[in-house]
Amino acid sequence: MWRPMESYRTWAAVVTTEVPVTLSTELADREIFLIGSIVSQWGFLEGDIFEQTLLTFKASDTLPITMNNVQFSAVLKLWVERVVEKQDDARRAVLQAQYDEIARLSDFRQAVVHSRWNWRPDAPDEITAVRIHKRKVKSVKFSADELADFSMRLGQVRYRIRYPGGLEDHAAEFAAGGGYISRHAYELLSGRVQCLNLPAN
């Protein structure tokens, strides 16, 4: 005689021991890739700002509590004070523009990182980031192309923060360092590169 509970237990035992059970995020592969790119770029951005600020202190200095690096906005203000304001006019203008761009992108970064993502069958090319902030429900809609633009803008900000003098600064660093091979170039040269083949959406 067929026993439903015994059949279920058998099925559950097979599933849990042989096939890992996971929950889908309901995001498309391209969206997952771009969200990961944004999170990575922002993480490196915070690191770039912190490192530049840290290098303005002497080894014998007592670091201010801000440099505990608990709150990025506080480190960012210190960066403006100790790095941006110490530059010549041209470089200061470039770095100040990046500070302004970071401020514009901050809310979108919070939405990307701290939200739950939803999608609707009647708008499959659009995802909505929903979160609770200061007792209010906030939602931001993104398309994959907008996520791609966001990631690119973050990359541009990072480049201009590191090289406010543009290619001249980049070339000077390259010459001083004796050359550098990027991770992407290394994987291309070594044959380790993997093609993601990400769908458009």
Give the whole-angstrom CA distance, residue 33 versus residue 148.
9
d(CA 89, CA 23) in angstroms, rounded, equals: 52
Average pLDDT, the chain: 87
Token readout for 140 is 């931001």
pTM value is 0.80
Contact between residue 153 and residue 133 where contact means Cβ atoms under 8 Å apart: no
pLDDT at residue 68 greater than cutoff 80? yes
pLDDT tens column, 160-197: 999 999 999 888 888 887 767 777 777 887 777 665 55
pLDDT tens figures, 47-66: 999 999 999 999 999 999 99
Q: How high is the pLDDT of residue 17?
A: 59
